[in-house]
């Protein structure tokens, strides 16, 4: 039987040594994330907390009386995985952020909040108090943040924060939070997030399960109403089998007819809102 005298291992010793090695997922929590890192990105920090008391921030942040205040948040116990990547120098923040963002939006779920630049609030607060990583501090014009609720099992909230620091280094930070008990509250995006999505992508989809429930559909239309009031030049079309009723409700809420169109009347439960 062949052996390796220079290594000093018996067969049983080798097996025991391999058993003692941590798995990839245990050694690197980022391996469990639903988002793949940017090509050739360097993992500079990662951690996992099995029972974290965590607040998922769903809105801009600011400091009031030395206390951090978020526009909205969901706080509960659950598993929190954090990973911070440094992006190769030849690639910018926007490219790296879009790489991760597109992966999230390709999965069934809902975008709850999206901000860029100064509309996100203080980068120092994001880095030091929300994300717990001072490496992420940089000029406020050079930041972006998004949080998505994924519909898979188990329920997950995934947040992305990207920053270009003053030294031009680009970092993308990912947080994946899995509540111990699913959050049953129905969460909706902010009107500003709807407007940003509509301006960037040209359309917003109201999920079929929400469009089919009167209470959820009503809440969505009130959000669309607030979005339209925030940009009085915006015109939209609404498609889907409930489109005529949705357009009429927006008119009843005070939106002028000239800003609204009934789009495709295909028999689909979801409502699709397109920018005209």
Give 31-100 as a DSSP string. Answer: GG-SSPPPTT-EEEEEEEEEEEEEEEE-S-EEEETTEEEESSEEEEEEEEEEEEEEEPTTS-HHHHHHHH
**Domains in the chain and their CATH numbers?**
24-179 (no CATH), 191-275 (3.30.1330.60)
Q: Which of 76-85, 95-104, 137-146, 195-204 has the weakest average pLDDT? A: 195-204
CA separation, residue 209 to residues 123, 151, 212, 213, 253 (Å): 36, 12, 5, 7, 23
Is the pLDDT at 200 greater than 70? The verdict is: yes
Query: Whole-prediction pTM value?
Result: 0.81
pLDDT at 270: 78
pLDDT at 23: 40
Q: Report the percent of the chain where pLDDT is more than 90.
A: 59
Tens of pLDDT, residue by residue over 149-185, are 998 888 999 999 999 999 999 999 999 999 999 998 8
Residues 158, 156: Cα–Cα separation, whole Å? 6
Is the pLDDT at 67 greater than 80? The verdict is: no
Q: Which residue has the higher pLDDT, 241 or 267?
A: 241
Tens of pLDDT, residue by residue over 228-249, are 999 999 999 999 888 899 999 9
pLDDT at 72: 87
- Residue 25, phi then psi, degrees to nearest 5: -65, -35
pLDDT at 268: 65
- Residue 141, phi then psi, degrees to nearest 5: -70, -15
Tens of pLDDT, residue by residue over 4-53, are 333 343 444 444 443 444 443 456 777 899 999 999 999 999 999 999 99
Residue in the structure block whose two tokens are 């939070």? 177
Quickly state the pLDDT bin for 109 (edges 50, 70, 90).
confident
Q: Which two tokens mark 146?
A: 């998004």
pLDDT at 168: 94
Question: Mean of the pLDDT values across residues 197-223?
Answer: 84
pLDDT at 163: 97
pLDDT at 27: 60
CA separation, residue 175 to residues 33, 82, 223 (Å): 8, 5, 27
pLDDT at 207: 73
Residues 86, 100: Cα–Cα separation, whole Å? 13
pLDDT at 208: 74
Q: Which residue has the higher pLDDT, 256 or 217?
A: 256
Give the mean pLDDT of the chain.
86
């Amino acid at each position: 039987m062949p052996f390796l005298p220079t290594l000093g291992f018996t067969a049983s010793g080798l097996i025991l040594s391999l058993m003692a090695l941590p798995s990839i997922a245990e050694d690197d929590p980022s391996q469990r994330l639903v988002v793949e890192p940017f090509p050739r990105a360097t993992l500079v920090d990662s951690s996992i907390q099995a029972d974290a008391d965590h607040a998922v921030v769903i809105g801009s942040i600011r400091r009031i009386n030395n206390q951090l205040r978020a526009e909205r948040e969901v706080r509960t116990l659950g598993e929190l995985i954090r990973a911070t990547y440094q992006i190769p120098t030849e690639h910018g923040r926007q490219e790296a952020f879009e790489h991760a963002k597109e992966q999230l939006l390709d999965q069934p779920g809902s975008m709850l909040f999206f901000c860029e630049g100064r509309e996100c609030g203080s980068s120092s607060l994001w880095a030091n108090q929300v994300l717990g990583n001072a490496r992420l501090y940089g000029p406020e014009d050079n930041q972006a943040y998004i949080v998505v609720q994924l519909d898979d099992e188990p329920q997950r909230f995934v947040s992305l924060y990207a920053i270009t620091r003053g030294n031009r280094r680009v970092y993308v930070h990912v947080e994946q939070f899995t509540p111990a008990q699913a959050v049953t509250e129905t969460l909706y995006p902010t009107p500003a997030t709807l407007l940003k999505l509509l301006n960037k992508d040209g359309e917003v989809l109201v999920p079929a399960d929400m469009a089919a429930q009167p209470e959820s559909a009503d809440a969505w239309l009130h959000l669309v109403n607030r979005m339209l009031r925030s940009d009085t030049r915006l015109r939209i079309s609404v498609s889907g089998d409930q489109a005529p009723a949705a357009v009429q409700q927006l008119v009843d809420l005070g939106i002028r007819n000239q800003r609204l169109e009934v789009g495709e009347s295909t028999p689909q439960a979801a409502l699709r809102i397109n920018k005209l």
